[in-house]
């Protein structure tokens, strides 16, 4: 109660205290604004209600640049519709109250806007016509453009590869309506043709609203890796005119190997090639062929392309001609003659006859003998080209002519048994092959050479064998002895005759005795039969 009584005095004291500077309107009226902190969608409208405890306010006003339309009034309140609110705003609500200072209060309108128009791009921006190629390991910048997405403090921008979240970034507050959020990425193999996208997430749940999110269209690019080293060419240095050779080119550590391109070309012309892949390696093989009349260097190039990069390697292939050496033999090649062998080749080649001595390795001179017939002579030509040594050989068998020779292969004595099968052989050596004939010296029937025959004593005798070829003839006398045995048959025949007579006598004597014995027993038998036949006679039946 005492306090209540004291109140007017206290109020007067306070009044004096406050109005010490400004003598009039010592007290401000109470002002409220509703809603005090609205969060509204950008472009929408909001009704702001200013009310006061002033009983008769002379003016209730709202200070704002926003378009306002009166929404209603009362004695101590006034409401306005603020339309098309696109930015955060703090309109001031003020009240003029008679006898009091002006009272005011600010409302804080927060404008939210879901993210939209998202776009993900590679920086620097690429031509749109085809997918860009990015070397693996290169640092790239992906820029995500976001419009809207306010309030910024509730916005997150996420970089996605497929559905995988790669990175997440807040957005600086003091940015304009559109913002570019940058992501730095080191290109990897996994990024090849992957769908990158960015997603903006506006989380207004702390403000009592929902989550908004929006995504960009997918962005794709190719990544590739190409080794620093050039491709490896496997080619011969030399190619003989008129021949073929296999060449190949390979390159390892290509990613993605399926998109790599390899091309072998020769003298500016693309070769028809065979491409094979083994893991990360690409290989092209082709056949190069030089025409017969071709000569000189031709460049072989291997070109590997991947992405926007190219790797080349080139090497020269030298086309050469190297005819075989010729071995020339002087005529005649005949027993006892001197024969000169000479090897001839191209001027650029050095030649050597195998076995040649002295300072003339390209020639040889010898007096040929029978034993040299068939001897092999080889001439080797050597050509040095681009550090490589080439060889070519040519050989020939010496054909030494020599007259016929009759010796061991035509034996001089033949001893045969009559009736046996034998062959008379007489072989002569000689070049060309001699023709051999053996003719009997007397008029006996001859025996053909080399054919098995049953020997009769008529073959006995002396034969003259002649071996004949273009260079001459050789003779040899060959004797044939046929062994036989004649026997005298007269004593044997007499012996046989005597024994036959003796045997005849013995046989006739024996027969006479036998016959006599036989007649006697026959008569006896007949008498017995006659007796036995009589009683059976009546039962006799006619024969069928």
Ligand X SMILES: *[C@@H]1O[C@H](CO)[C@@H](O)[C@H](O)[C@H]1NC(C)=O
For the record, the structure tokens of 397 come out as 């068998």
Q: Among 77, 315, 318, 457, indicate the residue that binds ligand X (CB under 6 A).
A: 77
Q: Per rule CB under 6 A, is residue 243 in the interface with ligand X?
A: no
Residue 429 in contact with residue 409, Cβ under 8 Å?
A: yes
Q: Per rule CB under 6 A, is residue 308 in the interface with ligand X?
A: yes
Least spacing, CB of residue 134 vs ligand X, in Å: 5
Residues 313-352 that bind ligand X (CB under 6 A): 330, 338, 340
Q: Per rule CB under 6 A, is residue 370 in the interface with ligand X?
A: no
Q: Can you tell me the distance from the alpha carbon of 120 to that of 180, in angstroms, rounded to the nearest whole number?
A: 9
Q: Per rule CB under 6 A, is residue 354 in the interface with ligand X?
A: yes
Size of the site for ligand X (CB under 6 A): 44
Q: Per rule CB under 6 A, is residue 274 in the interface with ligand X?
A: yes
Residue 29 in contact with residue 57, Cβ under 8 Å?
A: yes
Least spacing, CB of residue 317 vs ligand X, in Å: 17
Residue 220 in contact with residue 258, Cβ under 8 Å?
A: no
Least spacing, CB of residue 491 vs ligand X, in Å: 35
Q: Per rule CB under 6 A, is residue 261 in the interface with ligand X?
A: no
Binding track, positions 125-154, relative to ligand X; x by CB under 6 A = -------xxx--xxx---------------
Residue with tokens 């109005």: 19
Kindly report the number of other CB atoms within 10 A of residue 184's CB atom. 11
Q: Per rule CB under 6 A, is residue 312 in the interface with ligand X?
A: yes
Residue with tokens 């820029």: 143
Q: Judging by beta carbons within 10 Å of its beta carbon (0-12, 13-18, 19+), is residue 438 exposed, middle or buried?
A: buried
Q: Which is nearer to ligand X, 161 or 403 (CB)?
A: 403
Please give the order of strands across the beta sheet that includes 211-215: 164-170, 155-161, 196-203, 211-215
Percent composition of the chain: helix, strand, coil (DSSP 3-state, to 5): 15, 50, 35
Q: Among 391, 452, 497, 504, indicate the residue that binds ligand X (CB under 6 A).
A: 391
Q: Per rule CB under 6 A, is residue 89 in the interface with ligand X?
A: no
Q: Among 11, 53, 99, 116, indicate the residue that binds ligand X (CB under 6 A).
A: 116
3-state secondary structure 377-432: EEEEEEEEECCEEEEEEEEEECCCEEEEEECCCCCCEEEEECCCEECECCCEEEEC
Scanning 79-87, 162-170, 288-296, 417-425 for contacts with ligand X by CB under 6 A, the matching segment is 79-87
Residues 481-540 that bind ligand X (CB under 6 A): none
Q: Per rule CB under 6 A, is residue 217 in the interface with ligand X?
A: no
Q: For the chain, what's the residue count?
A: 544
What are the residues binding ligand X (CB under 6 A)?
A: 49, 51, 71-74, 77, 79, 84, 86, 114, 116-117, 132-134, 137-139, 184, 186, 212, 214, 274, 303, 308-310, 312, 330, 338, 340, 354, 365, 378, 380, 391, 393, 412-413, 435, 468, 473, 479
């Amino acid at each position: 109660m005492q306090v209540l009584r004291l109140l007017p005095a206290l109020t007067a004291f306070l009044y004096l205290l406050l109005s010490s500077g400004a003598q009039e309107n010592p007290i401000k009226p109470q002002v409220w604004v509703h809603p005090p902190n609205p969060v509204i969608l950008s472009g929408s409208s909001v009704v702001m209600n200013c009310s006061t405890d002033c009983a008769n306010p002379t003016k209730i006003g709202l200070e704002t640049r926003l378009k306002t339309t009166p929404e209603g009034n009362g004695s101590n309140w006034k409401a306005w519709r603020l339309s098309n609110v696109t930015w955060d705003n703090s309109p001031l609500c003020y009240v003029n109250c008679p006898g009091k200072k002006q009272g005011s209060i600010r409302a804080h309108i927060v404008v939210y806007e879901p993210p939209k128009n998202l776009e993900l791009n590679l920086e620097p921006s690429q031509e749109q016509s085809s997918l860009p190629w990015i070397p693996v390991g290169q640092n790239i910048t992906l820029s995500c453009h976001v419009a809207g997405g306010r309030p910024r403090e509730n916005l997150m921008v996420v970089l996605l590869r497929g559905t995988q979240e790669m990175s997440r970034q807040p957005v600086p507050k003091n940015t304009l309506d559109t913002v570019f959020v940058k992501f730095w990425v080191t290109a990897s193999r996994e990024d090849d043709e992957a769908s990158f996208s960015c997603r903006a997430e506006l989380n207004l749940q702390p403000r009592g609203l929902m989550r908004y999110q929006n995504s960009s269209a997918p962005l794709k690019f190719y990544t590739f890796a190409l080794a620093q080293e050039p491709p490896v060419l496997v080619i011969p240095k030399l190619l003989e005119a008129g021949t073929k050779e296999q060449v190949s080119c390979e390159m390892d550590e290509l990613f993605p190997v399926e998109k790599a391109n390899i091309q072998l070309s020769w003298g500016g012309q693309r070769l028809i090639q065979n491409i094979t892949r083994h893991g990360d390696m690409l290989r092209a093989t082709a056949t190069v062929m030089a025409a017969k009349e071709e000569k000189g260097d031709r460049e072989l190039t291997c070109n590997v392309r991947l992405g926007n990069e190219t790797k080349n390697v080139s090497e020269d292939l030298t086309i050469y001609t190297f005819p075989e050496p010729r071995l020339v033999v002087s005529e005649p090649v005949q027993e006892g003659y001197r024969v000169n062998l000479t090897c001839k080749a191209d001027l650029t080649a050095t030649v050597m006859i195998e076995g040649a001595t002295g300072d003339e390795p390209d020639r040889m001179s010898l007096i040929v003998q029978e034993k040299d017939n068939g001897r092999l002579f080889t001439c080797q030509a050597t050509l040095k080209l681009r550090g490589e040594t080439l060889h070519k050989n040519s050989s020939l068998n010496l054909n030494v002519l020599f007259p016929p020779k009759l010796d061991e292969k035509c034996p001089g004595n033949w001893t045969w048994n009559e009736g046996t099968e034998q062959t008379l052989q007489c072989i002569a050596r000689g070049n060309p092959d001699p023709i051999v004939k053996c003719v009997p010296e007397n008029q006996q029937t001859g025996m053909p050479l080399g054919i098995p025959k049953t020997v009769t004593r008529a073959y006995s005798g002396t034969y003259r064998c002649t071996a004949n070829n273009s260079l001459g003839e050789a003779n040899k006398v060959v004797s044939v002895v046929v062994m036989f045995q004649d026997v005298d048959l007269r004593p044997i025949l007499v012996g046989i005759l005597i024994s036959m007579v003796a045997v005849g006598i013995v046989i006739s004597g024996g027969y006479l005795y036998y016959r006599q014995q036989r007649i006697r027993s026959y008569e006896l038998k007949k008498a017995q039969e006659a007796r036995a036949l009589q009683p059976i006679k009546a039962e006799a039946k006619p024969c069928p």
